Chains A and B, each alone.
Chain A
């Protein structure tokens, strides 16, 4: 055999073709009686239906958890989850947190030093000391 084919797997470039929202599930846990859950209870009744209609790709789970502060928890495609405690928050503040969870990728927060990351090789190539003219000092 003159040439062998090496087996690899193509890597995903989310958004290059189809875009898949990375947040797949949002869990909203509230306390039925607690005062700290008042905001989330109002949010579920007023703002959540419109938000859920806007993002059908997210599965919403609403469930009471007795004797606990309210929590909104996002589940992501990479398997991680992101919980945010929303005690004593107003519905509008909670909406901001829910939007934050919706837009997150699920990765840990990292400092991005380069403006662009790419899988493609540099078009201009890597600089080589053996090519081109010699320059005098």
Chain B
């Protein structure tokens, strides 16, 4: 597969940061910058008359500069102006702290920190970036999960997606990256701070009225897992919004997604994948802790029937103190000669349940060696694709 020419279409996402009505100001500012610097460099060579003229002009320019930078002028805008990005120490420190590629400019990093609730203008907020970043993150995470653990039940896939790229994780990452929140958004705010309009305390998030799910007026109706794939988001949740403002969690999640897409757009796909592996996949998650079985013995029986194994039988392997206050039983579940799982407990049924859970986890957490992800095909000169193992899925009882 050929590499996509990103720059062509990414223009719509990274459109020029030109505010309507600010052309004049931009022009003035640029002109001022150039003139003032030349004046400073050339001044000693000038004669006194010219120097006086220069100083006069400089004073005039200084007043213009002061006016452009004055607080009321900055307050005109809902988010910090573009040129402020180069003056922010916080932003430069964040850029260096994340080892972001030098091709990613400070202006874009500053834009990723402006939430849509702070600045409505889509040219200046991170909404478009975060949409792309969200798709990238869910794509990379889901292909990693499905290819590494091909037998995971869907509800566990939802949970592990939530663990890797859920809003809580992204909020924790924002904190661990050292990003601070601005107390209130505005043009005068340091561009290195995360800017968003805060949700009023006690506001309850409402489900979207015009969501894709039918019968939304019946909130108590059962939502099947299959319908969650179809109608809900990647975590199996219905999207919720508030009328005004966003929570800190939502704003942080949007920011991290926007950073991901900014790297993708400016530095290309390999850099984005590396960033994903270093910051997302390197985090620790114990997959075995995500399962919660209701009736493990029943599930195991159904699984063995489906896979044409012999009917599972629980046998006591070892026991001690059957008549004492603290008995311990070690029970193994056998299918013919093969031991599927083993568990120990204070009663026979508890040990059997644990053994069944161990057997089910052993089945569901199967992971093939040397997995190749579909996104590896996007590399130049990739080897021909060999299909990965795809399982039937969970047992349906």
**Are these two chains actual partners, yes or no?**
yes
B45 proximal to A (CB < 8 A): no
Once A and B bind, how many residue pairs between them come within 8 Å at the CB atom? 131
Q: How many residues of B contact A (CB 8 A)?
A: 59
Given A2-B294, A2-B396, also A17-B89 (CB < 8 A): no
Q: A4-B294, A5-B155, A18-B278 are in contact. Are A10 and B178 (CB under 8 A)?
A: no
- Chain A residues lying within 8 Å of B325, measured Cβ to Cβ, are none
Whole-angstrom CA separation of A21 from B360 in the bound complex: 41
The yes or no answer to B335 lying at the interface (CB within 8 A) is no
Residues of B within 8 A of A137 (CB): none
Between-chain CB contacts (< 8 Å), 23 pairs: A2-B294, A3-B292, A3-B294, A5-B160, A6-B291, A7-B162, A8-B289, A11-B284, A12-B173, A12-B284, A14-B176, A17-B277, A17-B282, A20-B98, A20-B176, A24-B178, A56-B95, A56-B96, A59-B89, A77-B176, A119-B286, A130-B318, A130-B328
Residues of B within 8 A of A (CB): 89-90, 92-93, 95-99, 153, 155-160, 162-164, 166, 168-169, 172-173, 175-178, 225, 275, 277-279, 281-286, 289-295, 299, 317-318, 320, 328, 330, 344, 360, 364, 394-397
Would you give the shortest CB distance from A90 to chain B, in whole angstroms? 27
Q: A3-B299, A4-B294 are in contact. List 19 more A-B contacts (CB 8 A).
A: A1-B155, A2-B293, A4-B292, A5-B158, A5-B159, A6-B159, A8-B289, A10-B164, A10-B284, A10-B285, A17-B277, A17-B279, A17-B282, A17-B283, A18-B99, A18-B278, A24-B178, A56-B96, A131-B318
Name the residue among A121, A128, A130 with the largest chain B CB count within 10 angstroms.
Answer: A130
Chain B residues with CB below 8 A from A77, complex form: 175-178
* Complex alpha-carbon distance, A5 and B163, angstroms: 11
CB distance from A119 to the nearest CB of B (A): 5
